[in-house]
Amino acid sequence: MLPDHCHRRIAIAAPADAGAARELAATLGEGVLTEDGSGRLDAVVAALSAHLLEQPSGGTLLLRRWGRRQGVECLAYSDHDIAPDALTGLRAQADRLATHVTPGVGTVTLARVLRPGCSDEPSPTDTALAGVAMLARPEAASCADGWFIRCNGDGSGIALVVDGAAGDASSTDTARRTEAVVAATAPGLSPQMVIGAVRRDAATAPSNETAAGVTAAVLRFDGTAVDYTALGTVAGAVVRRHGVTSLAARWAMVGYNPQMPASVHLLWKPGDHVVLHSDGCARLPVLFIERGLHEVDPTLAAAVLLRDGGLADDDRTVVVLRNVAAVVEEPASD
């Protein structure tokens, strides 16, 4: 079973596909959106499907429940350049609408419909804005990848990416357990201590879960620095305007890592990004710069990276964090 935070994928090539997309959107919105919100979501999905059907090769829709069931998110992929003004009518229906066009490559559109009273804007104390795109393998009934992001309200936060063996039920279970462990950790714990908690939990799990080839990365952040610890195949990098600093990992798995992994401490500043991803993707930090994603909504940026850097034969997860800390100006000297 796919978790709420995994996008569901529907290829749009015929009117029947558009109908299936609207049915899926209605299912995801049930118990999440009001009647008005469900109507707006249906209009959004119908309009995006119509735009994709106008393209010679159609396109793809990705849908998931957003936040803590605070809304529904839709991402639309097209192999053709779609002018942003072609989507003007959607602005009255979507609470969030953004588009990125890579000339000659295609268009990705983000639309989000929220429950009344909910907002996807960062709070004044948040120092990072996060975006995620996550897909199971085509036709898979479960996803062994996972992620968790929390801002603590004091300017700090924590992010997790889990990479399990695709199609392995025990890996999927371990990914969900790992997310729960990290969600339950107290704010302020170092990444190494969080990884330690994950290891201890794995030691108490059934043997088939402990043996699963699950790897994980934990990132703690505030407005000035990131601390990163990883086991195995999850990759990361701090992406600045014109350069990339990789975040290294030690070879290991959640259920088998005899040595405590090292922790990396790097400074970052407002406007810098961190990209984390499972091994279902490649070359993402370089693509981030090549695609000009520094000013793009982080969810839209994650979707572009998933499209252009994803491998078709694996689960894949992309997390993008943008430093949005307020710049503190130094007092003028006398």
Amino acid 328: pLDDT: 46
Element (H, E) at 13: none
Model confidence pLDDT, tens digit, residues 273-308: 999 999 889 999 999 999 999 999 999 999 999 999
Task: At 19, list the tokens.
Answer: 């109908």
Average pLDDT, the chain: 90
The span from the CA of 122 to the CA of 58, in Å, is 34
Average of per-residue pLDDT across 157-164: 94
Residue with tokens 């330690």: 196
At residue 245, the 3 state secondary structure works out as strand
The span from the CA of 71 to the CA of 32, in Å, is 6
Helices (H), ranges, 185-332: 191-204, 207-210, 284-290, 298-309
Report which of 155, 215, 147 is spatially closest to residue 187, judged by C-alpha positions: 155
pTM comes to 0.93
Amino acid 171: pLDDT: 85
Q: Which sign, positive or negative, has the C-alpha torsion 122, 124, 129, 135?
A: negative
**Pair 218, 195: CB distance under 8 Å:** yes
**Exposure of 118 by Cβ count < 10 A (0-12 exposed, 13-18 middle, 19+ buried)?**
middle
Task: At 300, list the tokens.
Answer: 């839209």
Check whether 329 has a pLDDT greater than 70.
Answer: no
Check whether 327 has a pLDDT greater than 70.
Answer: no
Amino acid 140: pLDDT: 85
Task: Tell me the pLDDT band of 82, cut-offs 50, 70 and 90.
Answer: confident
The span from the CA of 158 to the CA of 135, in Å, is 22
Strand 225-231, strand 59-66: pairing: unpaired
The span from the CA of 148 to the CA of 214, in Å, is 15
Q: Which sign, positive or negative, has the C-alpha torsion 22, 26, 32, 36?
A: positive
Report which of 204, 182, 162 is spatially closest to residue 6, judged by C-alpha positions: 162
Task: Count Cα atoms within 13 angstroms, Cβ side, for 281.
Answer: 33
Strand 235-239, strand 225-231: pairing: unpaired
**Pair 305, 277: CB distance under 8 Å:** yes
Residue with tokens 């948040």: 126
**How many whole angstroms from its chain centre is CA 80?**
24
**How many whole angstroms from its chain centre is CA 331?**
38
Task: Tell me the pLDDT band of 191, cut-offs 50, 70 and 90.
Answer: very high
Task: Tell me the pLDDT band of 78, cut-offs 50, 70 and 90.
Answer: very high
Report which of 52, 24, 21, 26 is spatially closest to residue 39, judged by C-alpha positions: 26
The span from the CA of 53 to the CA of 63, in Å, is 17
